[in-house]
Amino acid sequence: MAEIIDGKIVAAEVVEGVKKSAAALAAHGVKPGLAVVIVGEDPASQVYVANKSRTAKECGFLSVQHTLAADTSEADVVALVEALNVDPSIHGILVQLPLPGHIDAGKIIQTIAPDKDVDGFHFINVGKLATGEVDTALVPCTPFGSMLLIERKHGKDLSGLSAVVVGRSNIVGKPMAHLLLAANATVTIAHSRTRDLPALCRTADILVAAVGRPEMVKGDWVKPGATVIDVGINRIPAPEKGEGKSRLVGDVEFASAEKNAGAITPVPGGVGPMTIAMLMANTLVSAHRHAGLEYKGL
């Protein structure tokens, strides 16, 4: 049976470090500020938003939330982001995705000042990650947090290890692959058009599932002893818990996968809490950079 990697514990350690560093920043008269912009009400995002503002306050940050009506125009969202870009009290801007269909998410993301882009989605940060300029980049929170869990298990140098990332999104799959590559892993990105996905997954020493399909990765896809990082957060009906009830599952079929894996992240309590912790870490890094200070954390 696999070791269960407890993301809540590692995330709490990260948050503890962020809290201490934020307190030290206060001596320089700097308070990290995080602004979250939400357009409309996406129920799947509510948990995330609540966890995020609670953690930001716990870290001693300024935490500002702008909740806009679902029919807000693209121009109005652009104007808000531009105002936050020049607001000196704000060091991190996160525009909650998905956005309503009439708003071009790409346009909004590219409007965010790259040095406040705590999601790491702006072309500048994507390019820096891809070219190894990580010291001045902001790295996407979910892959960054996943990488921290992988480091706990394998150290910072993944030389000789093969990693398979299932999923090629700009938000998780691609940046995850870049981080693994930067750590010297041999990386394959798999997706819906990959031939014999189970066989490919069985070659992975490190298997990252980020496809958004509930329990798609089965136990017999997992190489014995492999490290499995489950990025999926899927809410599925759970009639056994009562009528209208639901439960969270990952992209990995946990019960079968934990029999083969050497280590595995659960859902909930794995990558999710790490995403929040890294958002705090990125906001702290940004606050340091804006103040001309160096952050020697993480």
Active site amino acids: 52, 96, 119
Task: For ligand GUE, give the closer residue by CB, 17 or 269.
Answer: 269
Tell me: does residue 276 bind ligand GUE (CB under 6 A): yes
Sign of CA pseudo-dihedral 279, 284, 287, 293: negative
Count other Cβ atoms within 10 Å, centred on residue 70: 13
Specify the stretch interacting with ligand GUE by CB under 6 A; choose among 90-98, 124-132, 153-161, 183-191.
Answer: 90-98
**CB 28 within 8 Å of CB 255:** no
Q: At what angle do helices 7-26 and 271-290 cross, to 10 degrees?
A: 20
Tell me: does residue 97 bind ligand GUE (CB under 6 A): yes
Q: Which of 129, 136, 147, 141 is nearest to 282 (CA)?
A: 141
The binder of ligand GUE chosen from 269, 290, 295, 298 (CB under 6 A): 269
Q: How far is the CB of 279 from ligand GUE (least distance, A)?
A: 7
Count other Cβ atoms within 10 Å, centred on residue 157: 11
- Rounded-to-5 percentages of helix, strand, coil across the chain: 45, 15, 40
Structure tokens at 253: 């079929």
3-state secondary structure of 56: helix
Please give the residue whose beta carbon sits closest to ligand GUE in the complex: 272
Tell me: does residue 114 bind ligand GUE (CB under 6 A): no
168 is in an annotated binding site: yes
Tell me: does residue 273 bind ligand GUE (CB under 6 A): yes
Specify the stretch interacting with ligand GUE by CB under 6 A; choose among 23-31, 47-55, 176-184, 222-230.
Answer: 47-55
d(CA 283, CA 294): 13
**CB 94 within 8 Å of CB 118:** yes
Largest CA distance in the chain: 56
**CB 274 within 8 Å of CB 11:** yes
Specify the stretch interacting with ligand GUE by CB under 6 A; choose among 19-27, 77-85, 256-264, 268-276.
Answer: 268-276
Tell me: does residue 141 bind ligand GUE (CB under 6 A): yes
Tell me: does residue 189 bind ligand GUE (CB under 6 A): no
Q: Which of 221, 283, 290 is nearest to 257 (CA)?
A: 221
289 is in an annotated binding site: no
User: Which positions from 206 through 235 interact with ligand GUE, judged by CB under 6 A?
Assistant: 233
Specify the stretch interacting with ligand GUE by CB under 6 A; choose among 53-61, 151-159, 265-273, 285-293.
Answer: 265-273
Tell me: does residue 188 bind ligand GUE (CB under 6 A): no
The binder of ligand GUE chosen from 81, 267, 277, 278 (CB under 6 A): 267
The binder of ligand GUE chosen from 108, 158, 272, 281 (CB under 6 A): 272
167 is in an annotated binding site: yes
Using CB under 6 A as the criterion, which residues of the chain lie in contact with ligand GUE when the complex forms? 45, 47-48, 51, 94-97, 119, 141, 233, 248, 267-269, 272-273, 275-276
Q: List the binding residues.
A: 167-169, 233
